[in-house]
A = this chain, B = another copy of it.
């Protein structure tokens, strides 16, 4: 089956599977089954088997999956069997937090470039990385061949920054700005906005007084 035929919703679950496998491995497991994995994730075992079947046969009847082997397959499929360098644009509190975050290591990503437009911040160092100015951003990103960036600017600056990133050849953007950004079709974009998640949950909270 051609790659492009695989539903995006399936792709979206693969990182979840990979994360769970890594966790199982840390706990000392060597093999697992679709049932065990499904129970942990709140997903049916049939769905896990079906999802994986889009990419090949990774299990053994009667036994299950070798965690190490399946992890490696998923890393290969997701293209995180390497280390992608990532730029962060907008070095406020959140940019700082991401620059310090240890959770990228061993999962395919490393933050290597920081950009801001505040003269007071430019030249400062965060975690050994120098904060670089916007007016060198396109040049540097293009020259270094960076393909991934995270936007942590205020909402009002985000579209302008996104335009520059696209111009610089960035192919995937993770935006923390709470607005929908316009980018060309060949650029992937995803969003993180904690308020969206909180509002999703408050729907289900009864009207009991928020004392």
Partner-B contacts on A (CB < 8 A): 11-12, 14-16, 18-20, 23, 40-42, 77-80, 82-86, 92-94, 96-98, 100-101, 103-104, 107-109, 144-145, 147-148, 150, 171-172, 174, 178-180, 188, 190, 192-205, 207-211
Q: If A108-B202, A197-B174, A201-B174 touch, does A41 touch B180 (CB 8 Å cutoff)?
A: yes
Chain B residues in 8 Å Cβ range of A80: 199, 202
Copies in the complex: 2
With the chains together, A171 CA to B202 CA distance in Å? 9
Contact call A194/B195, Cβ cutoff below 8 A: no
With the chains together, A144 CA to B211 CA distance in Å? 7
Residue of B nearest to A79 (CB): B202
Chain B residues in 8 Å Cβ range of A210: 82-85, 145, 147
A81 shortest CB reach to chain B, Å: 10
With the chains together, A195 CA to B85 CA distance in Å? 13
With the chains together, A193 CA to B101 CA distance in Å? 11
Q: If A15-B196, A101-B94, A197-B190 touch, does A147 touch B205 (CB 8 Å cutoff)?
A: yes
**Secondary structure class of chain A's binding surface, majority of residues:** mixed
Chain B residues in 8 Å Cβ range of A14: 199-200, 203
Chain B residues in 8 Å Cβ range of A198: 84, 86, 108-109, 148, 172, 174
With the chains together, A108 CA to B190 CA distance in Å? 23
Chain B residues in 8 Å Cβ range of A195: 15, 19, 103-104, 107-109
A1 shortest CB reach to chain B, Å: 15
With the chains together, A98 CA to B40 CA distance in Å? 28
Contact of A11 among B15, B42, B203, B207 (CB under 8 A): B203
Residue of B nearest to A207 (CB): B79
Contact call A201/B190, Cβ cutoff below 8 A: yes
11 additional contacts (CB under 8 A) given A101-B194, A171-B205 = A11-B203, A11-B204, A19-B178, A78-B203, A80-B199, A94-B101, A96-B97, A103-B195, A147-B208, A172-B205, A192-B194
Residue of B nearest to A6 (CB): B203
